Every structure is written in structure tokens, then in C-alpha cells.
Amino acid sequence: GEDVEQSLFLSVREGDSSVINCTYTDSSSTYLYWYKQEPGAGLQLLTYIFSNMDMKQDQRLTVLLNKKDKHLSLRIADTQTGDSAIYFCALMDSSYKLIFGSGTRLLVRP
Amino acid sequence: SAVISQKPSRDICQRGTSLTIQCQVDSQVTMMFWYRQQPGQSLTLIATANQGSEATYESGFVIDKFPISRPNLTFSTLTVSNMSPEDSSIYLCSVAGPLNYGYTFGSGTRLTVV
């Protein structure tokens, strides 16, 4: 089955850029998503990218997809303390189910 | 995208008892899912709730432990039966929206079994 890997932790200074990485094994995923989970809350969809795209920009968020290397990244520009959360990448499999990565905990230092 | 109301938001339960979690959606949806998030872990799909038929369970999850109902296209319940401390987790329901909107999640039920 699909295997989705993320680094567990990232710490950045406020105002810097954050880059969260995700690698996966199944190249047949059509949609790839980034979700944010704040403490005690559910999951919030941040952005998505379709598999035929290489890049997508949405305000402070930039998603890069390297299909050859099966690598997905999320860049947050001008990171703020409110961006501190756990970020999950998720891929849709052929049964329309979401397969989640392990999550990356982002800590933004003032 | 759909709006999901999930309740209870949290509960503390005695081992051996059961808890039923409800998920109400503000629009009719075809696909509803139930996930478990164990402490400090990622999300694991428990089952897909099918309207008018039995739920489809993922490997490692069985109907006797996690019975699911889906009486209509806007509502589903998940019951955690005969609970043990290992069942302490966050349980989330999710509905599939248009693919480019991703899947919407409820706010989750934080369950602690003592």
C-alpha cells in the first residue's frame, strides 16, 4: 500500500520561511493535499495540488510536486506564530481514500 | 465545502463501556469516513460508512468493535465498543467533497478511557 513519510519536527524563527517535506511511494495519486491541525482541533485543508501540476501558489503557501522523485513540499512564507501546528500531507488513493503522512510539528519561535 | 457537526467533542469513559459518536453534515454526501488519531500519531482510516449498506472496514478494524450506522446521506454514527485504555484517541469523521476541495473533517471526539 501507499507509504507517506514526513519529518517529525521543524523549528523556524518568526518571519522566516518554513519548508515541510513529504515523500510517498505510490505515483498514481491524482490529488495531493496539505492539512493543518492546531492543538485540540480537527483538520483544516490548506491547499492541494493536482498530479499534473509542478507548482501551486496560494498567498503565503507554495506547493511543489516532483513526481519523478515522489516528493511533495509545502513552503510557508513569512511564517507567523499562528502557523505553529501539525502539518499533514495526504494523498488520495485509487479508492478515493486519503492516506496521511505522519505529520510535521512546526514550531515558530518569536 | 460541507460543514460537519461532530459530538461529543470529548468524553471520559470507563473501560468495558461503549461510546457512540455522531456526525451530522449540512448537505447530502455520498462518501463518509471515520478516522482514528492515536496520541501523537497520524490519522488511520477505520471504515467507510455506506448509506443503506454495511460499512467497509480497513484492515485491523472490525464491525464488532466499531459498529457504524449510516441511515441517510447526512448522518453517521461510530460506536467504540467494550472500551479499553488503548482506545483512547481522537476520532474524526470526514466527508468527501469535490476533489479539488479535499475532504472536510469534523472537529473530532477526544476519547479517554480510564
Nine-digit cell string for B57: 472496514
CA distance A25 to chain B (A): 17
| A43 to B92: CB separation less than 8 angstroms, yes or no | yes
B38 vs A93: which has the higher pLDDT: B38
Q: Among partner residues A42, A96, A98, which is closest to B107 by beta-carbon distance?
A: A42
| A42 to B108: CB separation less than 8 angstroms, yes or no | yes
Q: Among partner residues B1, B31, B42, which is closest to A102 by beta-carbon distance?
A: B42
| B99 to A41: CB separation less than 8 angstroms, yes or no | no
Place of cell 491547499: A47
Q: What is the mean pLDDT of residues B90-99?
A: 86
pLDDT digits (tens, 9 = 90+) for B43-87: 999 999 988 888 999 999 999 999 999 999 999 999 999 999 999
pLDDT of residue A40: 78
Q: Is A48 exposed, middle or buried (CB count within 10 Å of its CB: 0-12, 13-18, 19+)? A: buried
pLDDT of residue A81: 95
